[in-house]
Structures are given as C-alpha cells and as structure tokens.
Amino acid sequence: MHLNEKTITEAIIKRYTEKLLDSLKCDVAIVGGGPSGLVAAAELAGAGWKTCLFERKLSIGGGMWGGGMMMNEIVVQEEGKEILDEYDVQTRSFSKGYYTADSVEAVSTICSKTVKAGVRIFNLISVEDILLRDKEAAGIVINWTAVEMASLHVDPLTIESKFIIDTTGHAAEVIRVIEKKDDARLMTPSGKIEGERSLWADRAEQTTLENTREVFPRVYVAGMCANAVFGSYRMGPIFGGMLLSGKKVASLIGERLAGE
Ligand code: 48H
C-alpha cells in the first residue's frame, strides 16, 4: 500500500476533533492527571459517567513517575495496596504494613485502565478558569499549554460539566482561581485556602481522605490538593492516600449524579 500523508493528517484531525466535540458537555471534568485524578476518572467512567480529564503536561501521571527523589519506587500502606491489586499493579512487601511498587508500572497500568474505562484524556491542555452560573461552577475553561507557556494572548474554549474535581496537587490551581476571582467563601474553616503544612506522613494520609470533599458548589478536591486547601500536611512519597482519595471523590460525586 502506498502511504499518503494527507490521509494520516486527516485521520488525526478528525479523530481528535470527534473526541473533543463529544466532550464539550460531560458529567465530570477532572483537572490534573496525577494518581488521584486518574483513579477518580477510572472509577467514575467505570460507573458509567461521562468523564473527561485535562492534563497540562505531555505525560499523564503527575508526581508518581519520580517515586521519591527520582528513585522510581513508590510506597503504599495496606489500604493503598488493595487499590493497586485492583488495578493489577504488582506490589512487593517491604515490612509489615509497607509495600512498594515500581512507579513506572504503577502510572502506566493505572493510566491504561483509565483510558480503557472510557475516560477521555486530553493532555497538553491547561485549565485556566471555571464556568460560573450564579454561585455554582458549571464547567471549565481550557487552553493549549503551549499558549500558556508562550504567554500568547489567545482566548480559551469551554467544557460544560456537572461537577469538577481539582486534582492539581500542591498547587490547587482551580480552587486558587475561584478564591481569587469569584470572591468566594470556600467550604473551609476560614472560607479561604488554608495552605499546605510541612511533612507528616501518618497524619497527612488520614487527613487526605477527610479533606476529599466539596469545597465550592459543584467543585471537589482530591489528592494532595485536598490537604493544600484544607490546611493539612504533606506526606512525601507514600501514595495510598492519593489512590484512596481518588476512589472517595468518585463515590461522592457518583452519589450526587445518581440523585440528580
Ligand atoms: C491541567 C494541571 C493544572 C491545570 C496542575 O501532583 P499530582 O501528582 O497530584 P496528586 O494529588 O494526584 O498526587 C500528588 C503526588 O504526586 C504528590 O505530589 C505527593 C504525594 N506529594 C507529597 C509531598 O510531600 O510532596 O498531579 C497533578 C497534575 C500534574 O500532572 C499537573 O501537571 C496537573 O495536575 N495540573 N493540569 N490544568 N491548571 N495544574
């Protein structure tokens, strides 16, 4: 067969456009493709909800690739291991209650399950704002990361969604925009972002789950972002809390969607 470049180009443009057009209105828009965002997305799509995930970078996986200090192994506790088992990621027992996994296997396997669950993943797109309807969020505002990086004055496009999950990690980018622009009282003790505290793995892993919840009408936080917004600790390279938080937020939003 004689290969034709025009057909190759057409195939990419058409397929991508189909995917994007089909995502202009979704049940859940997830911002950030780290471990918490990926698990939340896989669980929601697995439950039948139309789920889209937007990731600024070329690669999906956030901070999990690098393990701890670029040593590409992650640690999980018993509850985290159960999720890795479910996602077919191999773990090795290190000592009682501590397990390790190869971070490259963990990211690539979870990412593959997420795509196969039906999540539409858009990499190289940054979320720069939300859609606001009165006092609730109604979607997200997106632009190419390349536009953001080059500081070009190019207007964005929008995605409507019933719920948004901020899984942007330490930066808590979506919530920061809401706090700054919308003069919002967040559902935190002070009504503002409380800010992340120093490293305390044990306490941080517990509070990640407690802090996984709604923080502005129709916007939830999960993963490291939950602790940054609610003023809790960082945990270092233990990833069970991230995976569990992804599951929890999916179940909270799944219940809301089922009730609407
Ligand atoms: C699109 C965006 C935007 C945006 C950011 O940091 P992550 O891996 O997030 P989590 O919470 O799933 O996992 C946190 C974990 O990796 C970690 O950092 C831990 C455990 N730290 C502990 C410690 O002590 O340091 O991923 C967030 C993703 C990244 O890929 C960003 O590129 C992406 O979100 N992102 N994508 N639009 N505005 N902002």
Instruction: Give the pTM.
Output: 0.98
Alpha helices in the chain (DSSP H): 5-21, 35-46, 78-86, 103-116, 145-149, 173-181, 201-210, 224-230, 240-258
Question: Per-residue pLDDT averaged across 84-107, rounded?
Answer: 98
Q: Is 139 in the pocket of ligand 1 (CB under 6 A)?
A: no
What is the per-residue pLDDT for 227? Answer: 98
pLDDT in tens, 144-171: 999 999 999 999 999 999 999 999 999 9
Q: What rounded mean pLDDT belongs to the chain?
A: 97
Q: Which domains does the chain have, with CATH numbers?
A: 26-259 (3.50.50.60)
CB 255 within 8 A of CB 220: no
Question: Per-residue pLDDT averaged across 8-29, rounded?
Answer: 98
CB 148 within 8 A of CB 131: no
Name the band, by pLDDT with cuts 50, 70 and 90, for residue 183.
confident
- Asked if pLDDT for residue 182 goes beyond 90, the answer is no
Q: Is 80 in the pocket of ligand 1 (CB under 6 A)?
A: no
For a mutational test of ligand 1's pocket, the pick from 75, 221, 242, i.e. the residue with the most ligand atoms closer than 8 A to its C-beta, is 242
The Å distance, Cα 1 to ligand 1 centre, comes to 44
| Residue 95 backbone zone (phi > 0: left; psi -120 to 50: alpha; other: beta) | beta
CB 138 within 8 A of CB 26: no
What is the per-residue pLDDT for 71? Answer: 98
What is the per-residue pLDDT for 8? Answer: 98
**DSSP state for residue 238 in the 8-state scheme:** B
Task: Express as a percent the part of the chain with pLDDT over 70.
Answer: 100
d(C-alpha 127, C-alpha 32), whole Å: 9
pLDDT in tens, 203-217: 999 999 999 999 999
Q: Is 223 in the pocket of ligand 1 (CB under 6 A)?
A: yes
Q: Which atom of ligand 1 is nearest to the CA of 174?
A: 38
The Å distance, Cα 249 to ligand 1 centre, comes to 16
Question: Per-residue pLDDT averaged across 227-252, rounded?
Answer: 98
For a mutational test of ligand 1's pocket, the pick from 65, 168, 232, i.e. the residue with the most ligand atoms closer than 8 A to its C-beta, is 168
d(C-alpha 101, C-alpha 83), whole Å: 12
- Asked if pLDDT for residue 41 goes beyond 90, the answer is yes
For a mutational test of ligand 1's pocket, the pick from 159, 180, 224, i.e. the residue with the most ligand atoms closer than 8 A to its C-beta, is 224
The Å distance, Cα 170 to ligand 1 centre, comes to 6
Q: Is 62 in the pocket of ligand 1 (CB under 6 A)?
A: yes
pLDDT in tens, 242-259: 999 999 999 999 999 999
Q: Whose CA is nearest to atom 25 of ligand 1?
A: 236
The Å distance, Cα 182 to ligand 1 centre, comes to 23
For a mutational test of ligand 1's pocket, the pick from 30, 52, 54, 55, i.e. the residue with the most ligand atoms closer than 8 A to its C-beta, is 55
Q: Is 235 in the pocket of ligand 1 (CB under 6 A)?
A: yes
The Å distance, Cα 43 to ligand 1 centre, comes to 18
Residue 195 phi, psi dihedral angles, 5° rounding = 95, 145
- Residues whose CB falls within 8 Å of the CB of residue 144, separated by 6 or more in sequence, listed in order: 124, 125, 126, 154
CB 89 within 8 A of CB 95: no
The Å distance, Cα 221 to ligand 1 centre, comes to 12
What is the per-residue pLDDT for 2? Answer: 94
- Asked if pLDDT for residue 139 goes beyond 90, the answer is yes
d(C-alpha 165, C-alpha 139), whole Å: 10
d(C-alpha 260, C-alpha 255), whole Å: 9
